[in-house]
Every structure is written in C-alpha cells, then in structure tokens.
Amino acid sequence: MYTNGTCYVVGESKSPGNNPITKKFDGFFIGFVIDPKTDLIVDVECTAMMGITVKFVQSLFVGRSILDYDGAAKEVHGRYFGSSQKALIVAFKQAYYKYKEALNK
C-alpha cells in the first residue's frame, strides 16, 4: 500500500477527561506515514469517534511537510474546533520531534 522507503511515526497526547476519545482509547493518538525523501505526509489516521473526524484530520495533514509544525498548528487552530484540538496539536508536535530525532533532520 505504501511505497518502499516511507516511514511511520506516532504522536500521542491526552484528550480532555470528558472526551469520548479519552474514555475509549485512554488518550489521543495520531499516526503519520511519511516520505522521508520529501518529508511529506502521505497518510494519517487518528483515534476518533467519528469517521468524518479522521477524514478531516487527513485533509489538514496529507500533503504537508511533517517539518512544518508552525503551519500545521496554525491550520489546526484555524479550522479544527473539536474538543481534542489541543490534543491534536500536542500529538503532532510529539510526532514531529520523533521524526526529526529518528532521521536526524
């Protein structure tokens, strides 16, 4: 499904205690498939209760550089108004740091 050379990185954070994501998954997780030649996000999925949320999160990140933390955070702040907004940004930031560390970028 994914081309040779792509890599996978996961970020995690805590959602608000009253969020169904926290009740079901005990946290918020987001996984990214990345092309390390271009640093572009090829695919993404997150722990969410509704499929539309996963699709919307994909629209925020697919095609964006994993190294564009500031742009991604701004996009999430400006477009994603779910209760897990902060958790999404924190999980992305964690994935961003894991990716940079793993590939020494």
Query: 61-90, pLDDT tens digit by residue?
Result: 999 999 999 999 999 999 999 888 999 999
43, 66 in Cβ contact below 8 A? Answer: no
Look at residue 60 and tell me whether its pLDDT is greater than 80.
yes
**CATH architecture classification, 7-103:** Alpha-Beta Complex (3.90)
Measured from the Cβ of residue 54, the count of other Cβ atoms closer than 10 Å reads 16
CA 21 to chain centre: 15
pLDDT reported for residue 104: 86
* Rounded Cα distance, 63 and 12, in Å: 21
- Among the residues of 5-84, which ranges form H helices? 20-25, 51-61, 69-79
Q: What percent of the chain has pLDDT over 90?
A: 71
CA 83 to chain centre: 15
Look at residue 23 and tell me whether its pLDDT is greater than 70.
no
pLDDT reported for residue 15: 63
**On the CB side of 33, how many CA atoms lie within 13 Å of its CA?**
11
